[in-house]
Chains A and B, each alone.
Chain A
Amino acid sequence: MNTVIFRTIAPYLAALMIVFSIFVLLRGHNEPGGGFIGGLIAASAIAIYGISAGVAEVRRALVFHPITFAGFGVFIAALSGFMSLFVEVPFLKGLWLFINLSDGSELALSTPMLFDIGVYFVVLGAISTIALALEEDEDDK
Chain B
Amino acid sequence: MSGLAFLEYAVAISFVVLTLAMLLVIIRIVRGPTLPDRVLALDMLVSVGIGFIAVIAIKTGYMLYLDIAISLGLVGFLATVAFARYILQRWEIRANQSESEGN
Residues on A facing B (Cβ under 8 Å)? 1, 6, 13, 16-17, 20, 24, 31-33, 37, 40-41, 44, 47-48, 51, 138, 141
Contact = CB atoms under 8 A, between A and B. Distances in A.
Given A32-B64, A138-B89, A20 B70 contact: yes
The interface residues of chain A, by DSSP majority, are classed as: helix
Contact of B88 (A1, A37, A44, A141): A1
Interface of B: 64, 67-68, 70-71, 74-75, 77-78, 81-82, 84-85, 88-89
A51 to B, nearest CB: 6
A47 B64 contact: no
B78 A47 contact: yes
Contacts of B77: 13, 48
Contacts of B71: 20, 24, 37, 41
Contact of B75 (A32, A44, A141): A44
Nearest to A134: B82
A31 B74 contact: no
A51 B74 contact: no
13 contacts: A1-B81, A13-B77, A16-B74, A20-B70, A20-B71, A31-B64, A32-B67, A37-B71, A40-B75, A41-B75, A44-B78, A48-B81, A51-B82
Q: Which of B67, B68, B71, B85 has the most CB of A within 10 A?
A: B71
A1 B85 contact: yes
B85 A51 contact: yes
Nearest to A9: B77
Nearest to A3: B84
